[in-house]
Amino acid sequence: MSKPTAKSKSKTPPKSAAVPAPSDPTAAGAAAYADAQGEMIQLIAPDGTVTQPERLPDVSIRLRLYHLMRRARHFDERAWVLYRTGRMGVFPPYGGMEASQVGTAAALTPDDWLFPTYRDTGAALTYGLPLAQTIAYWRTSPHGWAMPENLKVLPFYIPIATQYPHAVGAALAERRRGTRNVAMAYIGDGGSSEGDFHEALNFAGALNAPCVFILQNNGWAISVPTRSQTRATNLSRRAEGYGIPGVRVDGNDVLATYRVTAEAVQRARDGEGPTLIETVTYRVKPHTVADDPSRYRTAEDTAGWDARDPVLRLRAHLLAEGHLTEEADAEITREIEAEFEEALRVADAYPEPTPAEILDHVFAEPTPQLVRQRAQILAEEGA
């Protein structure tokens, strides 16, 4: 190989320009959490100690939230293993964000609406998306694409922020129909810099839409730390610009996320309009199972978050208060594992998808173009 000339050398950007300095991303999530401590709602501290006893949900709700978080985590962990063995497609993990997803989704009733992003499998499972269908979805199988007719959950949104205006539309439709149902939509810190986010908040505020907006600040938009995305340091305050309440909550405390969301849902049902809830959490895992975060952040950065694990936090609380025993916990593990393996058997038994199915489930009634394209695919297959 020839030696690089001085000219070609000067074209290569210095390494430090391409890879952010470690101190920058390291600060992003952990520092945001530390900054937020004083101003975010928290009911139990990271070690499980109760900080606001008067606001704790009933024990039956606490136990339900624990079960749902364990179930969500199990899915996340199994998805990794299945991906590595070629039995799952590219999957965006949410491990470590269960309190942010489960606590919020559990505050809805089945008559409401849920608008999840690709990150929110934990929220969709909590809301009732069947396990086997969810597995099929992340296998990119058409068997996972059409949401069950009796479940008001939208397919996972991949284009950032588009779900927010859609949720406002669904909320307004519910009000026109004279119901008390609400629409809840999720977004990430990165998504909250998109125009759709701001338009939706303004639209919802101006028309007093029964909406609950969940903004999961997990410290990262792929490789870009929240700090570099915006100069705003408290994303819940974005609500002020639209005249609606903004709440900042410890996104790793499921009792807090549940309590705050249940209150926002109630306000929306009572005609008091939308709320923005920022859940301060952290994306401990890579962006997707195909991402390598060691290229843009350090292992120490993520390690600090183990101590704030949402599942272990609630577990510590329940054990300390005598609401959970080690035996009961082991039984939950057995139950969750058996449920998942059964769902996997069901998903494995779905017939192999055929190429023409890629056009099914796009519209309720296919357009003339889709009818033509389907016929063409079938003809090519037969050829």
Ligand X SMILES: Cc1ncc(C[n+]2csc(CCOP(=O)(O)OP(=O)(O)O)c2C)c(N)n1
Q: Which partner, ligand X, Mg ion, none, binds residue 158 by CB below 5 to 8 Å per kind?
A: ligand X
CB of 219 to Mg ion, least distance (A): 7
Token pair listed for 85: 């063995």
Chain residues 233-292 in contact with ligand X, contact rule CB under 6 A:
283, 287
Q: Is 112 in the site for Mg ion (CB under 5 A)?
A: no
Q: Site for ligand X (CB under 6 A): which residue of 34, 90, 222, 362?
A: 222
SS (H, E, C) the chain: CCCCCHHHHHHCCCHHHHCCCCHHHHHHHHHHHHHHHHHCECCECCCCCECCHHHCCCHHHHHHHHHHHHHHHHHHHHHHHHHHCCCCCCCCCCCCCHHHHHHHHCCCCCCCEEECECCCHHHHHHHCCCHHHHHHHHCCCHHHCCCCCCCCECCCECCCCCHHHHHHHHHHHHHHCCCCCCEEEEEECCHHHCHHHHHHHHHHHHCCCCEEEEEEECCEECCEEHHHHCCCCCHHHHHHHHCCCEEEEECCCHHHHHHHHHHHHHHHHCCCCCEEEEEECCCCCCCCCCCCHHHCCCHHHHHCCHHHCHHHHHHHHHHHCCCCCHHHHHHHHHHHHHHHHHHHHHHHCCCCCCHHHHHCCCCCCCCHHHHHHHHHHHHHHHC
191 part of the interface to ligand X, by CB under 6 A: yes
Contact with Mg ion (CB under 5 A) among 104, 117, 134, 218 = 218
Question: Quick check: 195 binds ligand X (CB under 6 A)?
Answer: no
String marking each residue 181-210 x if it binds Mg ion according to CB under 5 A: -------xx---------------------
Catalytic residue among 62, 70, 283, 297: 283
Annotated catalytic residue 283? yes
Is 143 known to be catalytic? no
Q: Does residue number 98 form part of the binding site for Mg ion (CB under 5 A)?
A: no
Rg (CA), the chain: 22
Considering the candidates 119, 139, 248, 287, report the single residue annotated as catalytic.
287
Select the residue interacting with ligand X from 72, 153, 160, 204 (CB under 6 A): 160
| Least Å from the CB of residue 249 to Mg ion | 16
Question: Does residue 83 bind ligand X (CB under 6 A)?
Answer: no
CB of 82 vs Mg ion, minimal distance in Å: 24
Choices 52-60, 105-113, 124-132, 182-190; region in contact with ligand X by CB under 6 A:
182-190
Told to check if 101 binds ligand X by CB under 6 A, we report no
Catalytic annotation, pick one of 78, 139, 296, 297 = 296
Comparison of 29 and 210: residue with beta carbon closer to ligand X: 29
Q: Could you confirm whether 287 is annotated as catalytic?
A: yes
Q: Which is nearer to Mg ion, 28 or 265 (CB)?
A: 28
Residues within the interface to ligand X (CB under 6 A)? 119, 158-160, 188-191, 218, 220-222, 283, 287
Summarize as ranges the residues that interact with Mg ion (CB under 5 A).
188-189, 218, 220-221
Catalytic residues: 283, 287, 296
